C-alpha cells in the first residue's frame, strides 16, 4: 500500500481507469475471436454482417488509447483479409 498522498491518489486513479478499460478490452478480444471463428466455420454472410460491429469495437478501443491506432488498423486489415479469402473459397 502506498504511504505518500500522491501515490495513494495515483492508485485510486489507476483503479478507476482499470474498471473503465477492462470491459472495452474484454469486448475487443471476444469480438475479434468471434469474427475469426465465424470465418473459420465458413459462415461468410454472418461474418460479413458482424464486421461492422467488430470494426466499431476496434475503433473504440483505439480511440480510448487501449490499443495503438496501428494495432487497430492491423486487426481490421487481418479481419478483412480473412473475410476476402473466405469469400473466394
Q: What is the CATH number of the domain that holds 80?
A: 1.20.58.110
Of 32, 45, 29, nearest to 86 by C-alpha is: 45
The reported pLDDT for the residue numbered 89 is 76
Q: What is the mean pLDDT of residues 42-65?
A: 94
C-alpha span between 61 and 83 (Å, rounded): 21
Tell whether the model's pLDDT for residue 12 goes beyond 80.
Answer: yes
Q: State which residues form the domain around 29.
A: 23-88
**pLDDT tens figures, 61-78:** 999 999 999 999 999 999
Number of structural domains found in the chain: 1
C-alpha span between 31 and 50 (Å, rounded): 9
The answer to whether residue 53 sits within a structural domain is yes
The reported pLDDT for the residue numbered 68 is 97
Q: What is the mean pLDDT of residues 4-22?
A: 97
Amino acid at each position: 500500500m502506498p504511504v505518500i498522498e500522491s501515490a495513494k491518489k495515483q492508485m485510486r486513479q489507476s483503479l478507476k481507469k482499470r474498471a473503465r478499460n477492462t470491459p472495452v478490452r474484454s469486448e475487443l478480444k471476444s469480438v475479434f475471436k468471434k469474427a475469426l471463428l465465424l470465418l473459420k466455420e465458413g459462415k461468410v454472410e454472418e461474418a460479413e454482417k458482424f464486421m461492422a460491429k467488430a470494426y466499431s469495437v476496434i475503433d473504440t478501443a483505439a480511440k480510448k488509447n487501449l490499443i495503438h491506432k496501428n494495432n487497430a488498423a492491423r486487426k481490421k486489415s487481418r479481419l478483412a483479409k480473412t473475410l476476402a479469402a473466405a469469400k473466394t473459397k
